[in-house]
Amino acid sequence: MQQIKSEIYRFTNEFRSRAGVQQVSYCNKLDWMGQIHTNEMYTHRFFEHENPYCKKVETLSDRVSYCRLTEMYDMYGENLADYPAVSDTKVLLNSRGEVLDAHKQRTLFSPTELSRNIVTGWYNSPGHRANLLCPDFNYVGFGLLLYPKLFHGVKMKYLLATQNFGRRPESTGRKISNVFKKYFNI
């Protein structure tokens, strides 16, 4: 998992650099916050930014408070992904809808391929891209979980990911950028 985390971090900064945005630094406290949300999504079987099962960590703001990050950061963002970790997600069915290749060996993506796919997915989604390329963010952390998921009755490996961004105000000396304000109607 550490290699996947390192690669997601590398691709995050690669996309930011290509867009002319400063790179983000890694923060293990944002990792912790992301891991809490990732674990909650897996445990309670939901995939949303808001946790309907635990009021202490229901919203991003609640998680920031729970992790005692309110004094450290003044602005936050979050991206989620639930992505197949295998290169072949095609499932063959017969005419009766029965799975023909349930025991087929599926090849896992390399950490680099999987990480590139996830960050590219965020980049191709306007809301996720707004967080990914927001010039105000200067720190990032990740919560990751590789888990088995049934896909058309076939068990496959998936990666559940939470990417948390934060802005430490003393390190930017700036107010919230117009790009961020425009996208989120602030």
pLDDT digits (tens, 9 = 90+) for 114-138: 999 999 999 999 999 999 999 999 9
User: Can you give the pLDDT at residue 148?
Assistant: 92
Residue 48 is which amino acid?
E
Residues 163-176 pLDDT 10s: 999 999 875 555 55
Measured CA to CA, the distance from residue 185 to residue 13 in angstroms comes to: 25
The mean pLDDT value of the chain amounts to: 86
User: Can you give the pLDDT at residue 97?
Assistant: 66
User: Can you give the pLDDT at residue 64?
Assistant: 92
Look at the block and give the residue holding tokens 């729970």.
66
Q: Which residues contact 34 (CB under 8 A, 6 or more apart)?
A: 78, 141, 142, 143, 144, 161, 162, 163, 164
Residues 58-112 pLDDT 10s: 889 999 998 999 889 999 999 999 998 887 666 566 667 666 655 566 688 899 9
Strand partners, 156: 149
Q: What is the pTM of this model?
A: 0.83
Mean per-residue pLDDT, 2-20: 96
Judge contact between 77 and 71, C-beta under 8 A: no
